[in-house]
Amino acid sequence: MMNPNSHGGLLPTLLAVFVLVHAAVASLHGVHHAHHVHHVQRSPNALEAKFEETKQLLEKRASYIKITGVTGTVQPRLEIRDLKKNADQWNLFLLGMQRFMAKPKSDPLSFYQVTGVHGRPFVAWNNFQPINQAGFCPHSQILFGSWHRPYLALYEQVWYQNVLEVIATFPTNQQQRWKNAAATLRMPYWDWAKVPPNGEASTPTSIRDKTVTVTTPSGQQTIDNPLYSYNFGTVPSEMGGLPWNNFPVTLRRPVANPTRSNNNELATVMNQRRINMRDRLYGIFSSGASWGDVSTSAIGVRTSQNGNNVDSFESIHDIVHTSIGGESGGNMYYLDISSFDPIFWLHHTNMDRLLALYQVISPNTYVTAGKINRPMAQWNAGEPKNSYTPLKPFTKDTAGNYFTSEDIRNTRVLGYVYPETNGNPTAASVRSAINSLYGPSAPSKKRHYSTGPFEGRPFRHGDQHTVLSVIANKYALDGSYVVDCFLGHSNSTKNMTSASYDSPDYVGSYGVLGMMKADRNSSNPVMTEGCLPLTTALQGKQISGELKSMSPQHIEAYLKDNLKCKVIGPGGAEIPAEQVPDLHFYVKSCPVTPASSPEELPTWGEFEVLPEVTKHWPKVGETYTYPKPAAPAVPASPESPSYGTPSVPHGTVPVAPPMGTSSPPANSVVPLYPTSTPESPFHHPSEEPGYCQQKITIKYVDEAGNFLYSEEK
Ligand SMILES: *[C@@H]1O[C@H](CO)[C@@H](O)[C@H](O)[C@H]1NC(C)=O
Ligand SMILES: *[C@@H]1O[C@H](CO)[C@@H](O)[C@H](O)[C@H]1NC(C)=O
Ligand SMILES: *[C@@H]1O[C@H](CO)[C@@H](O)[C@H](O)[C@H]1NC(C)=O
Ligand SMILES: [Cu+2]
């Protein structure tokens, strides 16, 4: 995606420079172009020497993008609605975006090329030629959380450069005003889970309006809103074979005749899902799990699938993607083309923020070790990675050294913080912020279930936290899919085909963000897990009298009769769940210890599977057994003789323990530790700052999945 002239492979590039150097030498000595003939006809040895000389010169000239974020001072990235309160900063934000998006696609620092690093069009960037026909973005892998950090910093840095260019276009006597506004300006994030102000939709109009009025050097002007869509200019044929491929702008929940985005529907859906998404965030923040476990949806990274970590930030990130893109195939619905929609950046900045908050809560944990699970632009499947892995293609200097996850542990390195990490954040101060942003609503705010989704109440002693766990293959279908979940005995829940998000029984949806047909490999399943909390909905059912009590027995019986799910696939049609490859559901519940102060979060006790709820669900209710690990699955040191050989035949999950009995720990997913590669020198996990020793129980099962014995490591 760099300028094609500069990326025709190494040799043509070398020759091009060779000629350039000759021209320079020639003019330096005042000689004429005719001398070139003489040079070219020199003996092969002389030519080779010259070649070597120019090669060295080229290497010196080869320059990589030095990613720094916005330099100077460290400033908070604000929530989009807060940034908008500062009219001058908001104006610069929009004008900078407009200018950034208008840069020619041949410019490596254009919006097109910067956003194109993520997925399609699968071409070189920053001197890195893809080794596979794939994008650079490591979704459902250990580096999901940290890789996006320098990526966002790059985007912010380039956008900010455009802001500075815009300021230079203002009359001299106005420039100081704009420079003052820019001094503390950083790009905003969109918190889709917090209570929106003044009863507004959770998706602000500033993202949904088609046009916006801005102050330019020539006065007020109404322009196309740069947060509404990106205009490719021409039909982007390299975006793959989608129904919407013929349309030159990014789309959200597209509708036809004429082809356009449906941002009103987007706002409605995001509202309907907000409570459940808020509960998911609160559940993760309260989980006590390690950062590595909560950052990604991938099974095989997470070490405590049966423990308290039931969800991940990446899993929530997926439902935001699918809700925005929509089943009709908007950009955000497909991993490979999502980053072109400007909303992607507002969403991902929020993801980075959530991950930064979790770092404060769990300061001694970070990126865990694991293996790449599908061919990517910069890595091959199976390559071991850890927190010292170079986050290609993001370089921290012009010499071409890549950032590692360790380099960017602290966001201040990249010139920013978030409101909650500004100053001297502590775990207590961040937990306090989580409580006020995402805690269940105060009792005065609760609404009766029949007038909309119940908004929750603070936890009490004797409460249970209950979740529907979803195990899903990320690339099972051509595109994404969504599991809609309903709870209750209203008419709509009886007929799932007609059940809608307007129903008082709608709980929320679980999204699995996939790739388009051309880019996915259906024979290489990538397994993920996350969950939908049912707790708030159950509280509502208890208040309405449908559910007798919060005892696990009553919950299990109630859910067995009233929990319904349907899968909506690409195109919007319902797909029988049993026809979706590798899809599994189970429900689990744990006792809750309420927080003792606003600086504390509730704690989850040990989860117990409620097998009765899902065991009659065709196929998807069956106990899921992990596929045989392809690589060493037990932490072993390189010195150990067994190192490098698979030592876990199979793993298994939720062998439902009978209610009331003590359930054995069954943490069957264990980390895959890396071996040394030239780009990733071996670091034993215990030597890494982010390492957190966990007790691991491995359950051995036979080919049929029957339990044989378990072992503690
Ligand atoms: C539910 O079904 C019953 C009987 O089929 C019907 O009388 C009632 O009106 C329906 N309620 C709603 C809200 O559709
Ligand atoms: C369920 O609803 C759909 C759409 O409204 C309708 O076509 C179908 O007949 C209903 N099925 C049953 C069993 O009532
Ligand atoms: C798809 O994945 C399978 C299993 O990993 C692999 O053998 C195959 O080569 C892949 N196909 C392509 C086209 O990459
Ligand atoms: Cu991404």
Q: How far is the CA of 273 from the centre of ligand 1 (A)?
A: 25
**CB 122 within 8 Å of CB 377:** yes
For strands 527-533 and 563-568, give the pairing: unpaired
For 517-554, write each residue's pLDDT tens digit.
Answer: 889 998 888 989 999 999 999 999 998 899 999 999 99
Q: How far is the CA of 646 from the centre of ligand 3 (A)?
A: 21
Q: How far apart are CA 615 and CA 586, in angstroms?
A: 8
pLDDT of 233 above 80: yes
What CATH number was assigned to the domain covering residues 442-609? 2.60.310.10
Model pLDDT, residue 246:
72
For 577-625, write each residue's pLDDT tens digit.
Answer: 999 999 999 999 999 999 999 999 999 999 999 999 999 999 999 888 6
User: In b/e form, how buried is each residue of 319-337, taking b as 16+ CB within 10 angstroms?
Assistant: bbbbbbbbbbbbbbbbbbb
User: Where is pLDDT greater, at 203 or 674?
Assistant: 203
Q: How far apart are CA 129 and CA 490, in angstroms?
A: 56
Nearest CA to 296 out of 367, 373, 376, 194 is that of 367
Encoding tokens for residue 278? Answer: 């808020």
For 70-109, write each residue's pLDDT tens digit.
Answer: 999 999 999 999 999 999 999 999 999 999 999 999 999 9
Model pLDDT, residue 627:
56
Q: How far apart are CA 622 and CA 656, in angstroms?
A: 11
**CB 604 within 8 Å of CB 589:** no
pLDDT of 200 above 50: yes
Model pLDDT, residue 257:
86
For 573-583, write each residue's pLDDT tens digit.
Answer: 999 999 999 99
Candidates 498, 500, 566: which one to mutate for ligand 2, based on the most atoms within 8 Å of Cβ? Answer: 498
Encoding tokens for residue 334? Answer: 């497909």
**CB 316 within 8 Å of CB 191:** no
Candidates 380, 519, 524: which one to mutate for ligand 3, based on the most atoms within 8 Å of Cβ? Answer: 524
| Percentages (nearest 5) of helix, strand, coil residues in the chain | 35, 15, 50
- The DSSP result for 411-479, as a single string, is GGGGTEE-GGGSSS--HHHHHHHHHHHHSPPPGGG---GGGS--------TT-EEEEEEEEEETTSSSS
Nearest CA to 568 out of 522, 510, 491 is that of 510
- Provide mean pLDDT across the span 310-316: 93
- Provide mean pLDDT across the span 388-405: 95
**CB 111 within 8 Å of CB 230:** yes
Nearest CA to ligand 3 atom 12: 521
Q: How far apart are CA 151 and CA 163, in angstroms?
A: 18
Three-state DSSP at 66 gives coil
Model pLDDT, residue 51:
65
- The DSSP result for 101-119, as a single string, is HHS-TTSTTSHHHHHTTSB
| DSSP conformation class of 78 | P
Cβ-proximal residues to 424 (8 Å cutoff; 6+ apart), any chain: none
How many C-beta atoms surround the C-beta of residue 43 within 10 A?
8
Q: Which residues line ligand 3 (CB under 6 A)?
A: 521, 523-524
Domain spanning 75-430: CATH superfamily: Di-copper center containing domain from catechol oxidase (1.10.1280.10)
CA dihedral angle for residue 339, residue 579, residue 648, residue 655, rounded to 10 degrees: 110
For 635-691, write each residue's pLDDT tens digit.
Answer: 333 333 222 222 222 333 332 322 333 333 333 332 333 333 334 333 333 332 333
- The DSSP result for 587-656, as a single string, is EEEEEEE--SSTTS--EE---EE-HHHHTTSTTTTSPPBPPPPSS--S---TTSTTTTS---S--B----
pLDDT of 214 above 50: yes
Q: What is the residue extent of each domain of the chain?
A: 4-61, 75-430, 442-609
**CB 54 within 8 Å of CB 15:** no
- Provide mean pLDDT across the span 418-431: 97
Q: Is residue 498 lining ligand 2, measured as CB closer than 6 Å? A: yes
Q: How far is the CA of 521 from the centre of ligand 3 (A)?
A: 6
Mean pLDDT computed over every residue of the chain: 81
Nearest CA to ligand 2 atom 14: 495
Q: How far is the CA of 331 from the centre of ligand 4 (A)?
A: 12
Q: Counting ligands in written order, which one lies closest to the CA of residue 136?
A: 4
Encoding tokens for residue 62? Answer: 């080869």
Residues having C-beta closer than 5 Å to ion ligand 4: 137
Three-state DSSP at 487 gives strand
Model pLDDT, residue 670:
28
How many C-beta atoms surround the C-beta of residue 314 within 10 A?
23
Candidates 132, 520, 522, 523: which one to mutate for ligand 3, based on the most atoms within 8 Å of Cβ? Answer: 523
Long-range Cβ pairs for the range 486-491 (8 Å, 24+) = 486/563, 486/564, 486/565, 487/534, 487/537, 487/538, 487/541, 487/559, 487/562, 487/563, 487/564, 488/449, 488/541, 488/546, 488/562, 489/546, 489/561, 489/562
Omega before 171 within 30 of 0, i.e. cis: no
Nearest CA to ligand 2 atom 11: 495
Model pLDDT, residue 522:
86
User: Is the four-CA dihedral 326, 327, 328, 331 of positive or negative sign?
Assistant: positive
Q: Is residue 424 lining ligand 2, measured as CB closer than 6 Å? A: no
User: Is the four-CA dihedral 621, 492, 269, 589 of positive or negative sign?
Assistant: negative
CA dihedral angle for residue 176, residue 180, residue 183, residue 184, rounded to 10 degrees: -160
Q: Is residue 491 lining ligand 2, measured as CB closer than 6 Å? A: no
Q: Counting ligands in written order, which one lies closest to the CA of residue 490?
A: 1
Model pLDDT, residue 301:
60
Q: pTM above the 0.95 mark?
A: no
pLDDT band at 201 (very low <50, low <70, confident <90, very high): very high
Model pLDDT, residue 49:
72
Q: How far apart are CA 299 and CA 626, in angstroms?
A: 9
Cβ-proximal residues to 188 (8 Å cutoff; 6+ apart), any chain: 77, 78, 79, 80, 82, 83, 93, 346, 349
Model pLDDT, residue 713:
33
Model pLDDT, residue 4:
35
- Provide mean pLDDT across the span 417-430: 97
Q: Counting ligands in written order, which one lies closest to the CA of residue 500?
A: 2
